[in-house]
Amino acid sequence: MLIWSNRCEYSPERYLLLDRDGVINIDRPDYIKHWNEFIFYPDALAALEQCRKQRIGVILISNQSALNRGLISLEDFWQLHHRMVQAIEANGGTLAAAFYCPHRPEERCSCRKPAPFMLLKAAQMFDIAMQEAVMIGDRPTDVQAAIAAGCRAVLLTRELATGQAPDSDSINPANVTRCSNLLAALADLVESVGP
């Protein structure tokens, strides 16, 4: 597991755990290997700005098997990460931390989602009460990880049109809110938690 944490700009009262690819940037079937393949969803940048304004701590929780598949070097990976952070901050947002699993599924590591390990590690490091946190992802594995970690799950369904529809049968609908974009998901979250 790779961990990056930011300087502490404010003490968040609540936290949003976000998947990366397919949530803040457009996912690719051949993985994100270069910065020029990293394309933000505009609503994601706006949502990250809202989070900063509302002092919500945002933590990325992301599987990045491209690393151990040898598709991107660790150096290039961190360079891409830092360019992403710079772009988020240039648009008024910020990240509190990022947790990345570099492993391939065959490595059977303990951190790769749907395992809750990265979420639990984030909770431990940032003293997050999991029952008050929300994980937003675009895949059933994000929902499974959230449920296993004891936090709320929001399934982002904006990829439905591209044929990457999540298998709804594998998700317990009672625990899952669905949202079509990140701004809507954030509005739902803020409304449900209160000011």
Catalytic residue (choose from 19, 76, 142, 169): 19
Closer to Zn ion by CB, 62 or 177: give it: 62
Q: 69 vs 83, which CB is nearer to Zn ion?
A: 69
How many CA atoms within 13 Å lie on the side-chain side of 97? Answer: 26
State the minimum distance, in angstroms, from the CB of residue 66 to Zn ion: 13
Shortest spacing between CB 35 and Zn ion, in angstroms: 23
**Is 27 one of the catalytic residues?**
no
Q: Give the closest residue to 122 by CA, choosing from 157, 148, 97, 146.
A: 97
- Minimal distance, residue 108 CB to Zn ion, in Å: 9
Instruction: Report in angstroms how near the CB of residue 121 gets to Zn ion at its nearest.
Output: 11
Alpha carbon 44 to its chain's center: 11
Which is closer to Zn ion, CB of 106 or CB of 191?
106
Query: Which residues here bind Zn ion, judged by CB under 5 A?
Result: 101, 103, 109, 111-112
Closest CA to 148 of 186, 178, 111, 192: 111
**Can 21 be counted among the known catalytic residues?**
yes
Give dist(CA 100, CA 112) in Å, integer. 8
Indicate the DSSP class of residue 159.
Answer: G
Q: Which is nearer to Zn ion, 2 or 193 (CB)?
A: 2
18 phi, psi to nearest 5 deg: -125, 135
How far apart are the C-alpha atoms of 150 and 12, rounded to whole Å? 19
3-state helix, strand, coil in the chain (%, to 5): 40, 20, 40
Show which residues are catalytic.
19, 21
